[in-house]
Amino acid sequence: MGESVFLNGEFIAAEQAFVSIGDRGFQFGDGIYEVIWCYQGRAFRLNEHIERLLGSAAGIRLELPYGRDELVKYVKQMLTDIKWEYASVYIQATRGPAVRTHAFPSDVQPTVIMYVNQGQGVPTSTREAGIATIIVPDTRGTLCNIKSVNLLPNVLARQAAVEAGAGEALFERDGIGVVEGAASNIFAVRDGVLSTGPLSPYTLPGVTRDCVLQLAKSKGLPVALEFLSREELITSSEVFITSTSKEVLAVTDIAGHVIGNGRPGPVTLELADGYRVLVERECGIKFGDNRC
């Protein structure tokens, strides 16, 4: 973690940052969060992440004490002396500390925290090989479009993936199909068409997802916004996940079924490379000759 933490309008030493045990984020999971990936101290798609944070706040009827411009300013301040190759800015806002009662308390002041962690990029060997995934029942509710701190189903799903030696768990919802990963959006290529789930109460509006859709459009790739069944997914020629930290990462095995030829496919590689070119251009950095 960086040396300082933003807590309710002040930058203080990390070891001095404390939150009340009565905070509704701790008591009820009554809060939201955002994670912004940074390259060489420069936040990628910062405005889009802040807009999503504000959207999540509106989704739970939380009035933040800071507007968009203030939040952008604070993130940039957090990154002033950050030199790490990869870093993540974590922002969390809760309804604040109050006497424990389920309904919204009156006159409660929100708790807003922000800090920077050093990040680890996906190893080149993993990018070149792709990852295995498992499929788990989607036990979440219907507010998955809100980036809420209520992440217990995601935590349990990711732990199941770890114990299975997989890199991600995919949520399958009855009557709908495979909707997304525990911490990622999912894409597939079928008959030359790039498919991903539509924006819905079952999916997070991923910033990286949006970048990939923009890239696909610029490259003339046909796109279908639809949920795929388990069978449709495992018989796709290519599958990949997207997330802030994973970027565009091939899936080469789903629940023991090899995808395509078991290697990242041409569409996945083209979009992964295009994404990194986009990061280079918007952040003003260079990854070097090998962008995988």
C-alpha span between 108 and 95 (Å, rounded): 7
Catalytic residue, candidates 147, 217, 219, 246: 147
Q: Exposed (0-12), middle (13-18) or buried (19+): which is 263, by Cβ within 10 Å?
A: middle
Distances (CA, A) of 265 to 22, 173, 220, 228: 50, 27, 17, 19
- Residue 147 annotated among the catalytic residues of the structure: yes
In sequence order, what DSSP letters do the residues of 194-252 get, joined into one string?
A: EEEPPSSTTS---HHHHHHHHHHHHTT--EEE--B-HHHHHTSSEEEEEETTTEEEEEE
Q: Position of tokens 């910033």?
A: 207
Q: Supply the Cα-derived Rg of the chain in whole angstroms.
A: 19
Angle formed at CA 247 by CA 246 and CA 251, multiple of 5 degrees: 70
Q: How many helices and strands, by DSSP H and E, does the chain display?
A: 8, 15
Q: Which sequence positions are flagged as catalytic?
A: 147
